Chains A and B, each alone.
Chain A
Amino acid sequence: MREPELRQLAKPDRDTVEVMRLKLIIVAAIIAVICNVDIADASTTPQVADSISILPPRIISLKDTPNDAGTSIDIEWELSPTESLIPGMIIEYQVLRAPSPDSTFEQVGSVPAGTSTYTDEGTIPNKPYWYRVAAVGREQQVVSEMAGPGHSVMQWFDRRRIGVAIFVALTCTLVMVFIEVAKRKGKMFLRRLPVFDAIDEAIGRATEMGRKVLYIMGQMDVDDPQTVASMSILARVAERTADYGTRLDIPCVWPMAMSMARETVKESYLRVGKPDEFNANDIYYMTSDQFGYVAGVDGIMMRDRPAANFYLGSFFAESLIFAETGYTTGAIQIAGTAEVDQLPFFVVACDYTLIGEELYAAGASLSGDPIQIGSIRGQDVAKAIFFVYIVAGVVLKLFGINWLETLLKID
């Protein structure tokens, strides 16, 4: 990997003409002050501002933008002295680029006055580029001297993410170690959450009442991990409903999630030996519109009065509308989401709530598969390690030692 290229450009000599021009500007400014002319606001005295030439900015460096695909160059320049002498005279700086010193320079971007950096994001890796920066006033503009060549270089590793890489690698290692331990040991203890018993209880109640079970997978498609986690809980819920002969109603927001839910439920019915009782029409697409879906599901709750409602997946503003409507119908409600802002609504209005990580662990825990339970144990050990890490970081910080704090810092 090539180090980012830093091109320190030689400071151009201020020639006599420029010095003379600067002196003239100062003299003009003094005369203006004596004559009671407000030159600070160039917009009110354009004739004064326009009579003074803008001094050019000076490019200081052309650097490859670090940790990118090699498609950008950072340009830094020294502001035009005119900015400090006559504030408001310069409106913006335009960045001009050319593929060779002899080519025509074309504008690639602009920044407001007072800004001295720009990232040119349209470069090709390893191709040389030459730059100029133009200070633009209301009536005139002046271009800096040419700087270059600057190159953008492709990086193969994003160094800003070293902390995340360590975090992920450590967690993955622990999870895999405990999966192996579970394979050898056979069984591992995992505290059973009350909500797991509540699932059976809710479906049993629906069966006794002769009503259906409503299962909502959230607002996101199958590319969202919460929907995938919901799917693995659905597999267990469908096994129970198949076992008890209870109708399971699943209105879906996304067609792909609908297809996946159908496969999941079908497999569950096959597992318990009741494939004939599977009804594909009970898993259907409703709408991908957020509040259209809310209206549809609320309608089902009010008309059909399901005895058990499951809200497991990714939820947003609709969470409380669902939960409160379900509460008014008297259904047992079991919710779970990793959307932190929606958790309080579910906690208030539902009987049981899977909080954050419990949603991801529920499917594995309900399966009773020792290997899957081993992976949860690995995750718990990782959590304990990070807890110790955080406490140690806080204590060391109190004594002025910061390295533990910055070790996993992103960027």
Chain B
Amino acid sequence: MRLQIPLTIILVMGIFTLVTSFIPAKPIADVNQMFRNWYIGIITFFIFLGTFNLARSNAEKIKKQGRDWQYSIILLAFLGIMLFFGFYRGRASTEEGQPFMYLYFNVQFPLESTMYSLLAFFVTSASFRAFRARNKEALCLLLAAVVIMLGRVPVGTAIWKGFPTVTEWIMNYPNAAAKRGIRLGIDLGLISMALRMILGIERSYMQ
């Protein structure tokens, strides 16, 4: 029973979700929407679980004075500050000019932008390794990359007016064909995996 009940739920819900993709009728769509709303409700409860887990693990770290435990103090302090400013005026807390939004736009947002900007450096270092012409395939990759880069910047057009046209051709034909091939495989793989889940063949998470 411990296995059969969840597997039955998965089977019924899996088939129902599949069928709703093809049935626009309102009663079915409404039931589907109801299940989606349940899912959102469940997720909301899990956010509390996540926050509790985060607070507990960092509190334990401070208590045991584990490695870098000082960072946990900063984390818990900011968790508390954001929770306080997020709740103290209810819905109005997220209005412009409120402390919660001030902290979001002036602390969290710049920090996120900083992390994202690292990508520029990592793209450079990864490209440097990827574009070494060690064999024929790598040479093809290098040539395609050079053409595309030149086709996307004004200096490329200044060198030869045909670069943007060649770039578009590479992106629209060889590149698009390869992407579509991978996507077709992904879709078939997805159907196969979904069937394994629905039929209860794949259940590594609940033996």
Contact = CB atoms under 8 A, between A and B. Distances in A.
A69 B205 contact: no
Contact of B126 (A155, A161, A324): A324
A77 interface: no
Nearest to A229: B193
B53 A258 contact: yes
Given A156-B25, A348-B129, A383-B184, A321 B189 contact: no
Interface in A300-330: 303, 317, 320-321, 323-325
Which of B49, B188, B197 gathers the greatest number of chain A CB atoms within 10 Å?
Answer: B188
A358 B190 CA distance: 10
Contacts of B12: none
A278 interface: no
B183 A340 contact: yes
A234 to B, nearest CB: 8
Contacts of B22: 157-158, 161, 164-165
B189 A320 contact: no
A321 B204 CA distance: 30
Interface string A339-375: 0100111001100000111111101100101011001
Given A255-B49, A291-B112, A320-B122, A71 B26 contact: yes
Contacts of B60: 281
Interface stretch (B39-47, B92-100, B152-160, B161-169): B39-47
Nearest to A69: B26
Given A231-B205, A264-B204, A359-B189, A69 B126 contact: no
B185 A375 contact: no
B123 to A, nearest CB: 6
B46 A259 contact: yes
Nearest to A285: B50
Interface string B173-207: 00000010011111011111111110101101111
A361 to B, nearest CB: 6
Contacts of A201: none
Interface stretch (A41-49, A112-120, A168-176, A242-250): A168-176
B83 interface: no
B26 A284 contact: no
A320 B191 contact: no
B34 interface: no
A367 B204 contact: yes
B189 A292 contact: no
A231 B50 contact: no
Interface string B51-80: 101100100100000011000000000000
A236 B205 CA distance: 11
Contact of A292 (B67, B112, B129): B112
Contact of A348 (B126, B188, B189): B126
Contacts of A156: 23-25
Nearest to A225: B190
B184 A68 contact: no
A267 B204 contact: yes
B29 A69 contact: yes
Contacts of B186: 338, 340, 356-357, 360
B119 A321 contact: yes
A157 B23 contact: yes
A141 B109 CA distance: 48
Given A321-B122, A348-B126, A295 B23 contact: no
A359 B190 CA distance: 9
A364 B119 contact: no
Contacts of A223: 39
Interface string A65-94: 001111100000000000000000000000
Contact of B26 (A125, A235, A375): A125
Given A349-B126, A356-B183, A357-B189, A263 B205 contact: yes
Interface in A369-404: 369, 371-372, 375-376, 378-379, 382-383, 386
B108 to A, nearest CB: 8
Contact of B50 (A255, A281, A345, A363): A255
Contacts of B194: 225
B191 A158 contact: no
Contacts of B116: 291, 317
Interface in A206-229: 221, 223, 225, 228-229
Given A157-B22, A321-B119, A232 B202 contact: yes
25 contacts: A68-B24, A70-B25, A154-B26, A158-B22, A165-B22, A171-B192, A172-B191, A179-B199, A231-B204, A260-B205, A271-B207, A320-B122, A321-B115, A321-B119, A323-B126, A356-B185, A357-B189, A358-B189, A359-B189, A360-B190, A363-B193, A364-B202, A372-B202, A379-B192, A382-B188
Interface of B: 18, 21-26, 29, 39, 42-43, 46-47, 49-51, 53-54, 57, 60, 67-68, 108, 111-112, 115-116, 118-119, 122-123, 125-127, 129-130, 179, 182-186, 188-197, 199, 201-202, 204-207
Given A158-B23, A345-B126, 10 more contacts: A161-B21, A255-B46, A256-B46, A259-B46, A281-B57, A281-B60, A285-B53, A360-B186, A379-B188, A383-B184
Interface of A: 67-71, 125, 154-158, 161, 164-165, 168, 171-172, 175-176, 179, 221, 223, 225, 228-229, 231-232, 235-236, 252, 254-256, 258-260, 263-264, 267-268, 270-271, 281, 284-292, 294-295, 303, 317, 320-321, 323-325, 338, 340, 343-345, 348-349, 355-361, 363-364, 367, 369, 371-372, 375-376, 378-379, 382-383, 386
